[in-house]
Amino acid sequence: MSTIRVGHLYPDYLNIYADRGNIAVLTRRAAWRGHELEVAPLGMRDPVTPGEHDLYYVGGGQDREQLLVAEDLVRKSEPLHEAVRGGAAVLAVCGGYQLLGRGYRGFHGEDMPGIGLLPLDTVAGERRMIGDVLIECELDPGEKRTVAGFENHAGRTRLDPGAEPLGRVLAGFGNDGEGGFEGCRAGRVIGTYLHGPLLPRNAWLADWLLAQALAHRLGTDESPALEPLPDELERSAHEVSAARARSRGGRFD
């Protein structure tokens, strides 16, 4: 049995649309395979120690909550960059995703600094992009899979030329409603707008993150293969969410 250590950034501020459920899914899927997930909340003024955590998680929040945590996150920037260079994985959702870029300008002109873990910038648009989303991504070479979730954001996120999106939009808006891509990925760091929560609908993505975290814990570059689980309910949840997204198409609300 291995203990997978998770640093949950700002759980008291960034936790809308049931994003905390992502931690619950990781905990159960780790336990079913004989591993323990040890989750440490990292709030305001709590230090980040490189090497201490295998996976960092940042949820979503309203602009007000993002503004409250942004300066503190910048103070954690250097150790977070060092942790990622050392092989730690990161999952950031919506507001957390925006702050992993270089910054986010809110609807009222608020400038929220980011930490530059992902090569992107975000500016709030006039109208929100809301609804179910389906994307196709390829985290492992040659293996295309779909990710289903729910988006509700005004941010228009632009990736740098050559940056790798998390996936190609099959239904929904994605990063900006125009470019046809959703999220961003840099090695073991993933940012996405997809709530829902994300991982109960996409069990394979939860397992991918667990494998990356285990690789860090074991000190290896190659992630270990995880024992398959009987995921009938998880597959059904994914299919229902994917069908809703396909029926929706894309529109501004």
Give catalytic status of residue 137 as yes or no: no
Strand blocks (E) in 160-227: 167-171, 181-182, 184-186, 189-192
Active-site residue among 53, 94, 216, 238? 94
8: tokens are: 């949950």
202: tokens are: 């996409």
Q: Indicate the angle between helix axes 21-31 and 203-218, nearest 10 degrees.
A: 70
Place of tokens 């961003």: 184
Alpha helices, DSSP H, located in the chain: 21-31, 63-75, 77-85, 95-100, 198-201, 203-218, 232-248
- Which amino acid belongs to residue 250? G
Across-strand partners of 167?
Answer: 182
What distances in angstroms separate CA 235 from CA 146, 151, 242, 247, one per listed residue?
A: 11, 20, 10, 18
Give catalytic status of residue 184 as yes or no: no
Active-site residue among 53, 195, 216, 238? 195
247: tokens are: 């029926």
Residue 225: closest CA among 240, 235, 215: 215
Count the Cβ atoms, other than its own, within 10 Å of residue 152.
15
239: tokens are: 């299919």
Catalytic residue annotation = 94, 195
